[in-house]
Structure formats: structure tokens, C-alpha cells
Amino acid sequence: MPATSQDLLTGGDLPDGFSYPPEFVRLVEYGLTDLEPWWIMTGDLLRERHTGLAERRPGRSLVPFAERQDNDDVACCDLATGTIAVVHDYGDPKARDVARFADFPAWLHQAMVDFLEFN
């Protein structure tokens, strides 16, 4: 069964005042969650990654939404900056972000480039 927006973090799981970008919700509602090498996370996997990121990166307010299948990179909404941060989840928490995008559409554009180039 395809994922829906009901499979995303809700209520008490989300920081106060946060809402997913509408473009992201639309992507999920259309079932476009496998953008190899990126996977849009939903359900238990999303909840576990969100909890784990909070433990591994204290002091950062990140809401993960996608993971890369060929490494430990995770794309997140960075609430402190209002941007999209790609972090190497199990790397040094003090290391620079792998990438940063102005907004979700900018990240999605790069994810589509990755999709076209992925072998």
C-alpha cells in the first residue's frame, strides 16, 4: 500500500509550529517515495530515524524526511535555519552538513539529478 501523509510524523512527534512543506506532502500523496538512491521515509522507519537523530545530534532541531540508500546521508528540515540539511547521520555530529538547500523544491531537484545518475 502506498504511503500517505498519515504515515508521516504528526502531533507530539513534531516540533511546535512545524509543518511539512506542501510540495513534500504532495510528493508523498502521489506515492513518489522511491527516488533511488533517495527514499522518502514513512512510518516506523521515519519515527526511529527522527528519535535517533535527536539523540545523535543534540542541540539541532532536525526533521528527517529522506535517506540515501548507498550511505548514511539523511535529508532533513532544519528548523533553526529554515533550510534543508543533508547530514551524514552516523558521522561526527560536529562535522559540516553534507549539503544544504534553500528549500524542499531545491532538494527535490538535486534528488532527481541523483536519480538520473544513480547506477
Position 13 confidence tier, pLDDT thresholds 50, 70, 90:
confident
Residue 1: pLDDT over 80: no
Q: Three-class SS of residue 74?
A: strand
C-beta contacts of 104-108 below 8 A and 24+ residues apart? 104/21, 104/23, 104/24, 104/77, 105/23, 107/75, 108/23, 108/27
In this prediction the pTM is 0.92
pLDDT of residue 75: 99
Q: Which structural domain, as residue segments, surrounds residue 12?
A: 5-117
The CATH number that applies at residue 66 is 3.40.1580
